Amino acid sequence: MKIKYKYRSNLISTIIFVELMVMVGLTTIAMMLKFSSNPYNKSPTKSELILSMLFLLTFVIFILSSVIFCKIKIPVEMIADSDELSVTMPFRETIISYSDIESISLDHEFKKAEIRGEDDFYNEILTITDINKKKYVYHKKIELDQNKVAKNPAYLEKQFEKSEFSRLKRYIEEQMKFEKRLRINLQNIHGDR
């Protein structure tokens, strides 16, 4: 079973926040330099004009990068075979063996639109806990026809049951049961010797 999707990471919001703090810091430094070098508001010097242009350029870069970062979504690929779940993201690959999974759960959450022009949506949250109590949490936006949901609320529940994450969860649970039965049978075979 293979699932490919893209999601918006919280890391992007952190990057925008750091950019904003840098902008505030640069603005404070620029104002302090301006008032310390020209306390009586005489005509600006060349260095003050350069500093003002540098501030304006930094501001434009901040606005452009914020817009770009808001549009970026991180690609995720999940491949579930008969032995393990492999999750690939940029610069990271996680492999979870079914024998190491202690529990798996699937939740849904309603999210308000974060960006102008975007609709409210539901997120699926797949949480896998391994035998060492380490949690792997994956989020995926569910694409829904809002008009169908408004006309028939039971449509929403059907979509939750048919979603890729719910099918993945069922597949992993089946593989875990198969592996558990296989382990019991092997113990019975080896225990008889």
Reference 37, options 25, 24, 50; nearest CA is: 50
For the ranges 2-6, 42-46, 145-149, which has the lowest average pLDDT?
42-46
7's CB contacts (< 8 A; 6+ apart) are: 73, 74, 76, 139, 140, 141
Residue 31, both tokens? 């104002």
pLDDT of residue 193: 47
Residue scoring higher pLDDT (47 or 4): 4
Residue 148, both tokens? 């169908």
Residue scoring higher pLDDT (147 or 191): 147
Dihedral (CA of 21, 137, 88, 67) sign: negative
Residue scoring higher pLDDT (110 or 17): 110
Mean pLDDT along residues 15-39: 69
Dihedral (CA of 170, 171, 176, 177) sign: positive
- Cα gap 122→110, rounded to integer Å: 5
The one-letter amino acid code at 166 reads S
Please name every residue paired with 4 in a beta bridge, in sequence order, or none if there are none.
Answer: 77
- Alpha helix ranges (H) inside 38-133: 46-71
Most confident of 34-48, 59-73, 130-144: 130-144
Reference 128, options 76, 68, 87, 73; nearest CA is: 87
Phi, psi of 83 (to 5 degrees): -115, -30
pLDDT digits (tens, 9 = 90+) for 170-186: 988 888 887 666 666 55
pLDDT band at residue 188, thresholds of 50, 70 and 90?
Answer: low
pLDDT digits (tens, 9 = 90+) for 60-92: 777 777 666 666 677 888 888 888 888 888 888
- Cα gap 99→2, rounded to integer Å: 20
Looking at residue 82, what DSSP letter applies?
S
Residue 107, both tokens? 């939740």
Give helix 164-191 / helix 154-162 axis angle, nearest 10°: 50
0.75 surpassed by pTM: no
